[in-house]
């Protein structure tokens, strides 16, 4: 076992040689990452040693706790909240706007959701980019506004502050350029370090699997889900991990303003079916049970259905938007505020048949190419572009039913998107069953 008194390079050497580090050693290293006393070369060497040799569960818990504690850990006791503090996180995907619906839905059921979200990464959309399609919406309110909304409205979806898990920001930047992003302990501690710093009573994790997911195989997704649930719970936050499908876009649309429209359709009751609603309902039910707001899954689902039908969930979303600087009547007049693209074009298959397979990552990259995501960090997003009416696996497509509808800034952009969509979707005259939506649910209680 390495000891706290050891030099950083000796701790790195121990991990390089496959030895386990104790909690004190890991906290020492993370403190060095935070305060800069570890150089980039040392941080990179540590990340590579972890990548090559892994970490046991106790080490991963210690790393998660050290990242969580490297900055501000939110406290809610002084607000006398009448319900539990709850949140969810997803490994990302295409057409995945669960957060936009789940946050206000949980709030309407009595939970309090301080949701710290991120921007788009690669082919996946970002919750913050979607919300910034709403005129005036501020993703970086002052602390007093954030806390007031969490208490009074029950939900506030904002961006990460500099004070929240600062060690993770530096460690991730080094991992990104040292080919160590894929390390399971580093993935888990990065995800959970930020989430657990929000002072949660319970967390639900949505681990995606399929062609648009970070984890492409069910086995890899289940492994990640199990480790996340175990580590978070041992770090003091009861956590449920749900393994869900991302072999096709979750919603039949992708794009920033477009996904805000879809969220409003679900919250207002205009749309009452689809994979997006089913996954969101599953995650929300697990969160209500984990937070003590429902004694059983049946009671949780009944409460969720009631708050959706009554308009209570939509009302929470509307109040959150207004409280963060957006329009107070977005729910009533979305078309007045949300931008629309000047070019709309259907993409038709070259042969009639059923959609057999979707390269979901390629669909996401088509949205990025339209301007709905970033190729480079400094790129400015066009919130109006994207795709709607995306066909599902097993659905019949022909000269009447397109593969998708493109929303583009120009005809040239639409031409390129059409080429990408045609290449991303496989159609023939066979039949295929829709993919399983929920693969697994893994529940863990805090010790």
Active-site residue list: 87-90, 127, 175, 190, 194-195
- Between the two ends of the chain, the Cα-to-Cα distance in Å is 24
In angstroms, the Cα distances linking 421 to 115, 383, 414 are: 33, 20, 10
- Is the separation of the CB atoms in 112 and 291 below 8 Å? no
Give the three-state DSSP class for 260: helix
Measured in whole angstroms, how far is the alpha carbon of residue 144 from the centre of its chain? 25
Angle in degrees, CA 370, 372, 376, rounded to 5: 95
Distance between CA atoms of 281 and 139, rounded to whole angstroms? 25
Question: How many Cβ atoms from other residues are within 10 Å of residue 182's Cβ?
Answer: 10
Distance between CA atoms of 270 and 267, rounded to whole angstroms? 8
In angstroms, the Cα distances linking 402 to 68, 197, 422 are: 47, 45, 11
Element (H, E) at 358: strand 353-358
In which order are the strands placed within the sheet that holds 425-428? 396-397, 353-358, 425-428
């Amino acid at each position: 076992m390495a000891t706290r008194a050891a030099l950083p390079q000796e701790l790195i050497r121990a991990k390089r040689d496959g030895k386990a580090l104790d909690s004190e050693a890991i906290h020492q290293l993370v403190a060095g990452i935070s305060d800069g006393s570890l150089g980039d070369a040392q941080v990179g060497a540590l990340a590579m040693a972890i990548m090559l040799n892994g970490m046991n569960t106790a080490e991963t818990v210690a790393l998660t706790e050290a990242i969580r504690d490297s900055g501000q850990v939110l406290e809610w006791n002084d607000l006398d909240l009448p319900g539990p503090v709850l949140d969810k996180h997803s490994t990302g995907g295409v057409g995945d706007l669960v957060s936009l619906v789940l946050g206000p839905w949980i709030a309407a059921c009595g939970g309090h959701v301080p949701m710290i979200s991120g921007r788009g990464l690669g082919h996946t959309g970002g919750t913050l980019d979607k919300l910034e399609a709403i005129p005036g919406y501020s993703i970086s309110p002052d602390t007093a506004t954030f806390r007031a909304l969490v208490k009074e409205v029950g939900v506030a979806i904002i961006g990460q502050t500099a004070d929240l898990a600062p060690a993770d920001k530096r460690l991730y930047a080094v991992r990104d350029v040292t080919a160590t992003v894929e390390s399971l302990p580093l993935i888990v501690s990065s995800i959970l370090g930020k989430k657990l710093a929000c002072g949660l009573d319970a967390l639900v994790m949505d681990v995606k699997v399929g062609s648009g997911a970070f984890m492409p195989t069910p086995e890899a997704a289940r492994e990640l889900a199990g480790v996340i649930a175990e580590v978070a719970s041992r770090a003091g936050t009861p956590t449920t991990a749900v393994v869900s499908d991302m072999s096709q876009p979750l919603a039949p649309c992708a794009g920033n303003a477009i996904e805000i429209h879809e969220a409003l359709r679900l919250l207002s009751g205009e749309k009452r079916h689809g994979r997006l609603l089913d996954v969101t309902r599953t995650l929300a039910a697990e969160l209500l049970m984990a937070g003590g707001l429902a004694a059983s899954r049946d009671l949780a689902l009944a409460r969720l259905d009631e708050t959706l039908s009554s308009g209570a969930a939509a009302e929470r979303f509307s109040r959150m938007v207004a409280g963060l600087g957006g329009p107070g009547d977005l729910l009533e007049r979305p078309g007045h505020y949300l931008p629309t693209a000047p070019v709309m074009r259907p993409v038709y298959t070259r042969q009639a048949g059923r959609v057999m397979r979707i390269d979901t990552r390629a669909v996401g990259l088509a949205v990025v190419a339209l301007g709905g995501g970033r190729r480079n960090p400094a790129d400015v997003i066009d919130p109006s572009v994207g795709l709607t009416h995306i066909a599902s696996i097993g659905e019949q497509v022909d000269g009447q039913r397109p593969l998708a509808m493109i929303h583009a800034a120009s005809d040239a952009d639409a031409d390129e998107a059409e080429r990408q969509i045609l290449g991303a979707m496989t159609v023939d005259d066979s039949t295929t069953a829709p993919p399983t939506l929920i693969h697994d649910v893994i529940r863990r209680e805090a010790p």
